[in-house]
Amino acid sequence: MEDFTDSFSFLSRVIVTSRSSVEEDSFAASGNGDLISHWDVGGLTDGSWTYSCNLPLVLEPSSLRRNLNLVLNPINGGMLEEEFLLRCRGNELVLSGQDVLPVGVMSKMFVRSSCVFTGDNLVVRPLSSIEYMDCYDIDVIVKDKLVNFWKEHNIKPSLDFISQAPGKVLITLGRALMKNVLSSSKIATARNEDHLLKRERDLISSCNQEELGSGEGATLLGPTQAAFTDIEVEDVTAAKHDDAKVDVSQWDVWSVNNFCSNVSYSSTRSVSDTTVLLRPLVCTKDTYCPDKHGRLFNALRSLLHRKYRLLVTRSLLRYLGDTHRSILPSISGGMDARSKEEVVVGGIKRGFTSPSWIRRLQSRKRKSCGDDGITELRKDVFVGRDAIVRASNSSWWLWEGGSTIFYWRWPAVYRKSARDGTPLFIDHGRLPRYTEGQRDCKEENIQSKVRNKVNGLWSKGYISPGLVKSITLFFHVLKGKDDIRMVFDATKCELNAALWCPKFFLPTIDSILRNASDDTWFGDLDLGEMFLNFWLDEQLRPYAGVDVKSLGERGVDEDGNDVFILSPLGKTLWERWNRTLMGLKPSPYICTQSFGWCEDFIRGNRLDPQNPLRWDRVIMNLPGQEGYDPTRPWVYRWCDRMCDLAAFFGTYVDDIRTGAGSEGACRLTSRRVASRINYLGLQDAARKRRAPSKSPGAWAGAICRSITSRGLFVSCSLEKWQKGKAIIERLVDLIVVKEQIKVSFTDLEKDVGFLVHLSRTFPAIFPYLRGLYNTMNGWREGRDDDGWKMTNKEWKLFLSMDEDFGVEPAAKEGGNKRKRGSDKKHCCRDNIPMFVTPVPRAKADLEALGRLFESESPPNRLVRGREINVVQYGFGDAAKSGFGASWIGKEGLKYRLGIWSKDDSDGSSNYRELKNLVETLMELSNDGDLDGVEIFLFTDNSVSEAAFFNGSSKSRKLFELILELRVLEMKAGARFHFIHCSGKRMIAQGSDGLSRGQLSEGVMRGLVMSSFIPLHQSAIERSDKLKAWVESWAGVDVEWLEPTDWFLRGHDILEDVHRLNCDGMEVPTYKKGTYIWTPAPAAAEMAFEELRKARHKRTDSTHLIIIPRLMEPYWRKHAWKVADLIVRLPAGHSVWPTDMYEPLTLAFVFPLLKHRPWQLKRSPAIVEMGKRLSKMWEEDESSEGFILQQFWEQARSLDCLSKDMVFRLLRSKGGFDLSGSVARK
């Protein structure tokens, strides 16, 4: 250590000698010591210094030659050159931007520079103190502290440092000394100069498009099917025929082959309590014969189904007896009397007994039922009896007579909605009176299918007689190859216009794979008659009529089944819906919400050892964490008992996807889901069930594959891919090749709709649909030439241009079709033109789509895999004159820096920022540091982040860079993440200094890179004052949710409270609350998905989500869809200090209202409150506590006010007036 410490003493023995110019060989030895030039090491002065050291030092010169243009600030003003020449005395030294600074000279020295206030005219001025500090390489943090100190104490800036050696001189000497002393070690921060010189020569060269990898089937979207020749693919068709037959033998064979012959049990009949071994009674494994054993299995199923019908009936009677015990004796005179009823099942009359009071209650006149208890009992009996009859009409496999929810088995909070229908958001003043008759289909075979479909609805009682005030029309759409799906049009009759429903969450294929791995097995279930399972709101049934005149009157066929028969000519036949119909705006919302309630029951107690869906804890595997594993999901549930990811299931409307770590566990999970669905009275379509597989069929429009030791992949069917490819080729031919100025709006609308559906599987497609979408809508008023919506400023400018050019008012009204509207003679429906003009960017988008659709077979997009098993983090920044980037590679810290060419320097800052990031990644790729790497690259340019996530840009240069990124990502087999961060974070990290040639800032001076990457830290983990601040205005009764609570308490579920229904089954217990969600940025997407699910199911709780503004594109769409108000707390607040860098996002989610406008979102009052909070935090935070507290309380208590008062309050910009005068009335 003696030599080591002594060698550092040279810093106190540096002999500083100022020189007038830089000599040719500044690194040559002089008589009094060795010589080092500031300019040769990348500095901005012409000074040289001699140094002496007891060790030989090898200095590394910099190939970068810098000048004053790099530090001159155009905001600083000065005298115009003409004025300066008049005032100068002739002995002044005037430098230009191409010069370097004479060392030590300060008086009578000026610089000629550009100025933002004088346009193209140059000004002459002295250098500012900050520019002097930049020239002498003063550390950015030290510089900021000095400037703040001078301002606070009103002290004149001191420039004594110009007599000292600049920072880069000392850094160069220090690096040389460290290399000499520690020559046996590899210093991660060192840079190979030969490689740096080579890279600098290529800095301004453009990115050449290279061929894709030589591997078979490689495409931009992922490897094609050629890469998976060893994988067996299940039937990928998602839509199956409603009349598809059940493969009964397949179920029987599985039952025989999986019979557990080695299971034993203790016999309770034997006195000696002997153990009896279970043995197959009929056939053993692989001996099943359909002809020989099929009838026996059918008989067994008949016996079990009979037991099932009996249990359902007893369950209802038990519920009625327990619930209405106080009033039943007054109706029946006794609880034991019973009567016999008959129902027709498949043309066969079947009898069952029920208490006699049920028939007497049904026969009582409605007017005698004024008591609320009697009314509720009547409804319970009516719906319950209907459910029992339908259960009796069902078979083991099918619900031939339709189904009715077994409402009495549901949690108490949902029973009324399950029995009477979920209350809708109805604007009663807009309910229609539509009476136009139904038109027949011209094709007889289609009309026959339509008649059969509607007849099936009627025979099952989904359409029934009743009061009709307005009717809906119906039409068909194709389903599968030879089936149709009926859609009832509630839009044309304007029924949908009188209804409102919130936006709700639907999972994507990526959502369902969040708890999956490459060892996961998947199962598929289907909900039969999804929409028709649920009752329609009683208030809406008179307005959901159906004209069945063309189908006939009610009648009975030869087998005794209810059918339509031909009606007399001219007779009007109207009936009405009593179930949610496809085509009604709220139907998807109601059905998915109701099934969401069922999902809570299906999942059950998460700690029950017999529960296949059991899980013990939530594991956070987030980027930025030590030990982050790219092959695992970021957030997942873990089962300690299985030592594996917990089993799961997800629902996309009526399709259910299950998953577990083994085939057996997947079967148990599917059975759990199916059995509980049937228990609640919903239809599990067993005929559509798929066996567990690692390559199942389509779900949510996509196919997933789990390949052991490779990863999870997502794809689509060959038929869909070829259809999408054909659409792109046709549009390229029309718009790019033939350059047609008119394309059919209807055809384009269908094509874009299908491509949007395909983009759910391949998200990289979606950004390039913008040109086609803008083409479809470019004719609308207020659009620019590229189809984008004009801002108010642009629109006013456009109108003023019309006036300036003397456009007549009449001509102005029907002027530019793209911006005003369309020619009426070309309009079809709702003023939409028959033909539209392609916007300019459509060509570029189609060219990109053409590259994405190059392959003949569908690619397999990698979701998560073993091949990407390394994580890297980096920062990149670009200034007007130079650029820099630093990252942690396999060998430690690496960096790059350089100076822009004149063309790049004169270009836009957005282009320079993105180009720097792209070239950084290209350098990593050339070095082989991107293979199998997941890299998180930070930038302080939000446009670069947006362009990467959107996959496109209005700028052609940015567009080409993004496309190059996609090519690079595919070639390297890597995954890129661009993350926008604060410019102050970039400065502290050191990449901002690199762009200015500084090598002594942030990580370059030894700070740890991970300290600047808080992607895994929540807001309350980063600020210990935040929790107390929130509770000061939100109250101490709020509930702070941990990751485990996201799946339970955040859904209003009380985990420790278990209640039993009438059958002794555990059902969830709910309690509304006020929740604070504080996810880390990397976990925010998962948290928002769970929040949106919770909000969908229960709308009377309040939520506040607090997230640092990092990784925003991952969760921003979720936030804007669910939140009523989003505000940002700036860094520098007392609870969120400046060293947090990025602002804090607060998203408020308030309960829905019971009347118009139904929600607080976008109301003038809530928008104004957001503006006031933002302005308050910018100017003064002293009154924030009172304002936030009053706003928080008023927004949650609006349901206590009258309908008219709430409407006026929200419509007024001063609605949340904190004087409280309105709210207290």
Please state the length of the chain: 1225
Beta bridge partners of 938: 875, 979
Query: Closest by alpha carbon to 221, among 758, 956, 770?
Result: 758
Q: How far apart are CA 854 and CA 830, in angstroms?
A: 37
DSSP string, 428-455: GGG-----PPPPPPSSHHHHHHHHHHHH
Q: How far apart are CA 590 and CA 77, in angstroms?
A: 64
The pair of structure tokens assigned to 987 is: 């400065």
CA 1079-1082-1085 angle, to 5 degrees, is: 70
Going by pLDDT thresholds of 50, 70 and 90, the confidence category of residue 86 is: confident
Based on DSSP, count helices (H) and strands (E) in the chain, helices before strands. 36, 44
Going by pLDDT thresholds of 50, 70 and 90, the confidence category of residue 807 is: very low
> What is the C-alpha end-to-end distance of the chain, expressed in Å?
81
Tens digit of each residue's pLDDT (9 = 90 or more) over 981-1026: 999 999 999 999 888 888 888 898 888 999 999 999 999 999 999 9
**What letters, b where the CB count within 10 A reaches 16 and e where it falls short, cover 976-993?**
bbbbbbbebbbbbbbbbb
pLDDT, residue 3, reads 40
Contact 21, 46 (CB under 8 A): yes
pLDDT, residue 1219, reads 46
pLDDT, residue 520, reads 93
Could you give the 3-state DSSP secondary structure of residue 96? coil
The position carrying tokens 């996509």 is: 702
Question: For the CA atoms of the chain, what is the radius of gyration?
Answer: 37
Residue partners of 326: CB distance under 8 A and separation at least 6: 373
Could you give the 3-state DSSP secondary structure of residue 1135? coil
The position carrying tokens 């790049």 is: 904
| Minimum mean pLDDT range among 529-543, 567-581, 1098-1112 | 567-581
Q: How far apart are CA 35 and CA 27, in angstroms?
A: 5
Contact 518, 709 (CB under 8 A): yes
- 961: exposed, middle or buried (C-beta count within 10 Å: 0-12, 13-18, 19+)? buried
Contact 123, 77 (CB under 8 A): yes
| E strand or H helix that includes residue 892 | strand 892-899
Contact 728, 850 (CB under 8 A): yes
The percentage of residues in the chain with a pLDDT greater than 70, rounded to a whole number, is 79
Q: How far apart are CA 776 and CA 842, in angstroms?
A: 11
The pair of structure tokens assigned to 714 is: 């997502």
| Minimum mean pLDDT range among 22-26, 92-96, 205-209, 1042-1046 | 205-209
Cis peptide before 542 (omega within 30 of 0): no
Report residue 442: phi and psi, to 5°: -70, -30
Residue partners of 154: CB distance under 8 A and separation at least 6: none
Q: How far apart are CA 622 and CA 811, in angstroms?
A: 60
Mean pLDDT of 248-272: 62
Residue 849 has pLDDT above 80, yes or no: yes
Contact 688, 240 (CB under 8 A): yes
The percentage of residues in the chain with a pLDDT greater than 90, rounded to a whole number, is 31
Average pLDDT, the chain: 80
Contact 1196, 1150 (CB under 8 A): yes
Q: How far apart are CA 692 and CA 670, in angstroms?
A: 9
Q: How far apart are CA 537 and CA 578, in angstroms?
A: 8
Beta bridge partners of 565: 553
Report residue 15: phi and psi, to 5°: -100, 115
Residue 693 has pLDDT above 80, yes or no: yes
Contact 749, 779 (CB under 8 A): no
- 243: exposed, middle or buried (C-beta count within 10 Å: 0-12, 13-18, 19+)? exposed
Residue 422 has pLDDT above 50, yes or no: yes
Residue 236 has pLDDT above 80, yes or no: no
Q: How far apart are CA 458 and CA 465, in angstroms?
A: 10
Q: Kindly give the pairing relationship between strand 870-878 and strand 933-939.
A: parallel
Residue 586 has pLDDT above 90, yes or no: yes
Tens digit of each residue's pLDDT (9 = 90 or more) over 509-535: 888 898 999 899 999 999 988 899 999
Residue partners of 766: CB distance under 8 A and separation at least 6: 756, 759, 951
The position carrying tokens 């991660």 is: 188
* Number of other residues whose CB lies within 10 A of the CB of residue 270: 10
Q: Where are the alpha helices (DSSP H) in 973-1070?
A: 983-989, 991-995, 1019-1022, 1026-1034
